[in-house]
Structure 1
């Protein structure tokens, strides 16, 4: 199915509206392929796709640092481009997805790469959209999964082939006495909605529930808290394997927090 937002993928959500929870989803290979493609994306791509608001610890700031640094601080201009838009090793496969979340072009190199001859490349070699790696003789196969199957995806994105026994075990797990008590909601996921699920999957064990009930994602400062109190004790007991490095630190007097550090 396609809309003004581009192609969409249909997914059935089984919702307990009384508990305000999506128990699981049912879909075909198209959505599962897209879900599995999350694992192929470099961290830099995920940070960029999420608008540098990935909430993956400090990686957003690392990405912003690369953006802000002048190319004078990098070995080559291509190094900076490689970090901001890293290549996906599975890009030729992802280009065959119904919805490809990774918008990085299918190519063999990055702009401004220095050729073996020592000159800067003026153009980048791009791969064909379909490199022939699709399963031959079976048009029902997906990009990553095989065969024309239905899948069950739980709220924490555990994927398994659909079966009656699995459905019954999930009903029992969630205390569903009669399946008629659940609402089956058909949703059509566009690119933006799938990116929304990607972001929620990084910060929540219930991305489907968060998406369906439009639960706000937690602020960044609530994702990471202080380090465990026993961490320093463990570090002191660790075997010394490296040479000592002297650093200069700038520390706040009021709360002893570390403001800045520089290698001596």
Structure 2
């Protein structure tokens, strides 16, 4: 598995070759940020990512119904993109997430355009704002098409912050990710405890493999996490098997 061109996200897997499973993975900040970012995705984004890869259940049918619905049935102030391609709101702590999922856009108040009345010298008109440049000013009845420049509060936060890491977790720590995506700080004691818990008798049967994640692996992780308790095993062992066989 070659290193992804899109990202430097990687995992070091500890594999039990006898039981054919991933015991756990050693991960850095980038992968943990990606996992935690999954919780910020709205349902519409999940469906948009997974429908083409065979989504289980009926939510995909709702998505396709919206796609096929004639726009004449929608409210005049709405469009299909609002539902089919919902944007992810990321708080200040979520900036800098690895782009392992396609077509997932960050959104905030600044992603919308805001307008005021063109008669900005009128203090009464100046108190009204809209996100539709066809709206009529309640005060003077002119069109509100004077676009405003929105200043995101994140700029002020970053200016006074001593850390520019971004993301969700600190980068100075190595993390342990279990096969079922339980995350905890990595330690020698916890590793030994896990080997005992998995009843590993032959340490020689354990093998380390480094895998690199791109968009394909990101989507597979997302999809597999919705139906399996052995996510790392289900996603990476088939890939590694192909890689090993191709070398032989």
| TM value normalised by structure 2 | 0.71
Residue 162 (structure 2) aligns with: 137
Q: Which has the higher helix share?
A: 2
CA pair 156-76 structure 1, distance change in 2 beyond 3 A: farther
Pairwise CA RMSD of aligned residues? 3.4
Q: Pick one of 205, 208, 212 that aligns with 1:188.
A: 212
Is the 1:30–1:142 Cα contact (8 Å) retained in structure 2? no
Of structures 1 and 2, the one with the larger relative CO (CA 8 A, separation 6+) is 2
Distance 2:49 2:57 in 1: 16
Deviations 1:96-122 (A, max 9, x none): 1233526225453569x645825899x
Deviations 1:164-207 (A, max 9, x none): 22112211111113544310101111122111111111111111
Residue 16 (structure 1) aligns with: 16
Is the 2:97–2:167 Cα contact (8 Å) retained in structure 1? yes
Residue 7 (structure 1) aligns with: 7
Structure 1: which 5+ runs fail to align?
A: 216-264
CA pair 7-133 structure 1, distance change in 2 beyond 3 A: farther
Is the 1:29–1:149 Cα contact (8 Å) retained in structure 2? yes
Residue 39 (structure 1) aligns with: 39
Give yes or no for the alignment of 1:48 onto 2:48.
yes
Structure 2: which 5+ runs fail to align?
A: 114-130, 137-142, 240-248
Residue 174 (structure 2) aligns with: 150
CA pair 106-115 structure 1, distance change in 2 beyond 3 A: same
Q: How many residues align?
A: 211
Q: What are the within-5 Å matches in structure 2 for residues 1-264 of structure 1?
A: 5-53=5-53, 55-76=55-76, 78-90=78-90, 94=94, 96-101=96-101, 103-108=104-109, 109=111, 114=132, 117=135, 131=155, 136-139=161-164, 141-214=165-238
| TM value normalised by structure 1 | 0.67
CA pair 5-171 structure 1, distance change in 2 beyond 3 A: same
